[in-house]
Structure 1
Amino acid sequence: MDIAFLFPFILLIGVMFLMTRSAKNRQRQAMEMRDAMEPGTGVRTIGGMYAQVKEVRDDTVLLEINPGVHALFAKNAIGAVLDADEYERIVNGETEDEETPVVPDDASSLIESDDDAGDDRVELGKDEAKDDARAEAKAEESRKDDGESGSRSDS
């Protein structure tokens, strides 16, 4: 057998091995994170809800969503275990440092208005192309007119 024939198969097996290895590492890290939960820890569920851990069971976690409001979640539903400072910052709505860039909710603030644009605008030549097309159409029309109304003299 030729080694060139086996090379794609060896490459495919190697890629599959690396993919399964990285997936196992992610699963292991997620399990370690979930095992680190203890009562009083702040968490974020995979649905994006923030809560505080009240009780950790074998496969489930009892979370306190608001004072006196409890919900039972599967451990797999926990997306992240948060530091105490980060959890307090998120739940209490405290803003971060002033140096953090503000991301706009929509793209309208990212573009300049017509008043702000000034001479920095880049013309793409659309108007010139229209003018050229009109000029060519007029020239063609005048050539047709000259050909029809003109008389040929065969002398």
Structure 2
Amino acid sequence: MMITSTTGRRRYEVALKNHLSAVEDEVTLYASVLIHTYALAESAACRKLGIDSRTAGGIEVWGGSLLGEHSRDWSGVFDGEAGAVEVAVVRNAFAHGTRLIDDSSEQRLAAVGAPPRTSGDVVTLDYEELRQYRDRLRSLLRVGGVDPMSSTP
């Protein structure tokens, strides 16, 4: 049996057993939620800033700009800039399919004083980490003046 979904542009088709295997893998499910949460946060922030999310830079750039627009800084954000960059690094490891820390991610974390991770380290994600990462993104939006309940910037 196949499951299909059409989005207007593309058609997604997968065998039911493969779909169930993917959904039963908690890490895959959590990563999917993190990737989508990050995308929504970035999109909301960029819409508020009036910039294109494809050219906005990393969370340290668009997040810093969002905070600056409200005369705020990272000190008011849950786990600060280091926490936000950690969210982005973990998100990227899953979004790009590697599930590993690369050299760039190692340097990015070190630049903001995040807990160190070494190039080649495996990235994992459990439910509590997912909750914490989503809380960090919500905090950034809230401190940056984005109302998550509003459909307008």
TM-score range, shorter chain: under 0.3
Q: Max radius of gyration: which structure?
A: 1
Higher percent of residues as strand: 1
Larger RCO: 1 or 2 (CA < 8 Å, sep 6+): 2
